[in-house]
Amino acid sequence: MIHLMNNVISIALQEDIGSGDITTDNLIDKDIAGRGVMIAKEPIVLAGLDVARAVFEFLDPKVIFTSDYKDGEKINDGSIILTVEGNLRALLLCERTALNFLQRLSGIATYVRSFIDKLGKKNVRLVDTRKTTPGLRILEKYAVRAGGAYNHRIGLYDGVLIKDNHISVCGGVRQAVERIKKNISHLVKIEIEVSNLSEVKEALDAEADIIMLDNMDISGIKKAVELIDGQALVEVSGGITMENMIVLADMGVNIISLGAFTHSARFMDISMRIDPYEK
């Protein structure tokens, strides 16, 4: 994760700074030190502290970074999230990039936590999807975990998920499952996406490990869960709300996947105040 994070930070800083900060470079002497404070302007669930730290360290390896919080903690409006001390130019150059990461990742964690709090002690696992910002997936999925939910597969490489287009190309649910079984290790679980009861029966006959009910209505999901009857894990995806996830949990659904965790979370309101001081 560290290698990927540093690559993302490098791209983000280059995107913002380009050939140089024409404002800061012509206003601030290069030997002045300063102190920055990030403040929560609304209640948040924190995520991205290490990313923010790495942004500042990218331009000033000697920066002093401190925080009384950890990712996953709830922070009240007006609380000081972190302080950072170092080269003033570096602080100003890193300010927006560090804020962007912290606001985005905390936004995801805060949104996820709202679902987790609503769910209470219901026995179902909430997971994310691959509907992430290109280049930021590993960070956004980290933020999902900070919010209290779980990750589905990270990418196409770490889990089998047979989707509708695969089924169409292979000629059916059974054919797709049988073909994948011939080509992967027996240690890898097989998940398949289905959209009706007929496909649920085929998936059961083919002995799929996880059956994803995609965009089925509540009545259809109830019948599918009864049909599956513990023979496979049941995942539900599509059209999930805070209200119907409770109904699904009570039905016996094992996993609920929500693309909204990442595609619908907003940036949180966090500000940074920077002041100079002489070394």
Tell me whether residue 217 is one of the annotated catalytic residues. no
Mean pLDDT for 213-236 is: 96
Confidence of residue 222 (pLDDT cuts 50, 70, 90): very high
Tally the C-alpha atoms within 13 A of residue 76's C-alpha that lie toward its C-beta: 2
CA dist 36 and 216 (Å) reads 50
The reply to whether CATH 3.40.50.720 applies to domain 2-109+266-277 is no
User: Over pLDDT 90: what percentage of the chain?
Assistant: 95
CA dist 30 and 8 (Å) reads 26
| pLDDT confidence of residue 123 | 93
Among 71, 85, 140, 214, which one carries the catalytic annotation? 214
| pLDDT confidence of residue 1 | 67
Kindly report, residue by residue over 170-187, the tens digit of the pLDDT.
Answer: 999 999 999 999 999 999
User: Among 2-11, 30-39, 217-226, 242-251, which stretch is predicted with the lowest mean pLDDT?
Assistant: 2-11
| pLDDT confidence of residue 279 | 47
Fold of 117-263: TIM Barrel (3.20.20)
Tell me whether residue 57 is one of the annotated catalytic residues. no
Kindly report, residue by residue over 53-101, the tens digit of the pLDDT.
Answer: 999 999 999 999 999 999 999 999 999 999 999 999 999 999 999 999 9
Among 35, 53, 74, 96, which one carries the catalytic annotation? 96
Question: Which residue is it, tokens 């150059």?
Answer: 93
Tell me whether residue 193 is one of the annotated catalytic residues. yes
Assigned token pair, 124: 């179902």
CA dist 161 and 223 (Å) reads 22
Q: What average pLDDT does the structure give for the chain?
A: 95
Among 41, 163, 223, 266, which one carries the catalytic annotation? 163
Kindly report, residue by residue over 13-30, the tens digit of the pLDDT.
Answer: 999 999 999 999 999 999
Residue 257's nearest CA partner among 155, 151, 121, 142 is: 151
| pLDDT confidence of residue 277 | 76
Kindly report, residue by residue over 104-150, the tens digit of the pLDDT.
Answer: 999 999 999 999 999 999 999 999 999 999 999 999 999 999 999 99
Residue 262's nearest CA partner among 137, 101, 124 is: 137
Indicate the pTM of the whole model: 0.95
CA dist 70 and 88 (Å) reads 25
Reduce the DSSP state of residue 104 to 3 states and report it: helix
Can 2-109+266-277 and 117-263 be said to share one CATH topology?
Answer: no
Among 193, 199, 202, 235, which one carries the catalytic annotation? 193
The full set of domain ranges for the chain reads: 2-109+266-277, 117-263
Tell me whether residue 163 is one of the annotated catalytic residues. yes
Q: Which DSSP letter does residue 21 get?
A: -
Confidence of residue 278 (pLDDT cuts 50, 70, 90): low
Tell me whether residue 273 is one of the annotated catalytic residues. no
Question: Does an H or E element contain 171, and which?
Answer: none
Q: Does residue 3 register a pLDDT over 80?
A: no
Among 131, 179, 181, 201, which one carries the catalytic annotation? 131
